[in-house]
Structure 1
Amino acid sequence: MTQNLGTLDRTIRVLIGLALAFWALNTQNWLLGALALIPLGTALIGWCPLYLPLKLSTKRA
């Protein structure tokens, strides 16, 4: 599994994930909390499975 997320992409995903997590905590909505794991997880591993069929990569070579 080759990383396909660049630094800016990963940073944006972390910010979106954290925003969703804080929103989930404030509204006590477990579904938003679970949804927050997707951008946080992809940012953590640096790989997005949706980029694969689209042949996208934001990581510099």
Structure 2
Amino acid sequence: MGSMDRGLRALVGIGLIAWGVTAQNWWGAIGIIPLFTAAIGWCPAYLPFGLSSCKTPK
């Protein structure tokens, strides 16, 4: 997972969690998923499609 991908996932995760807290509902818990994948640097959804957001060396 590339650094921009990780940063966007972390931002979206924090935003969803913050929205859930301010709206006082459990839907904000979905933010844990992008935050977790950003923290570990790997997305299981990329695996079946063979995707990668890392730069490849030339």
SS of equivalent to 2:48: helix
Moved over 6 A (4+): none
CA distance in 2, matches of 1:60, 1:24: 34
User: Identity percentage over the alignment?
Assistant: 48
Structure 2 alignment gaps of length 5 or more: none
Q: Whose RCO is larger (CA < 8 A, sep 6+)? A: 1
Normalising by structure 1, we get a TM-score of 0.85
CA RMSD of aligned residues (A): 0.9
- Corresponding pairs, count: 56
Equivalent in the alignment of 1:58: 53
Structure 2: which amino acid aligns with 1:50? Answer: A
Pair member with larger Rg: 2
CA distance in 1, matches of 2:14, 2:44: 20
Deviation at 1:27, TM superposition (A): 0.7
CA distance in 1, matches of 2:25, 2:39: 23
Deviation at 1:59, TM superposition (A): 1.3
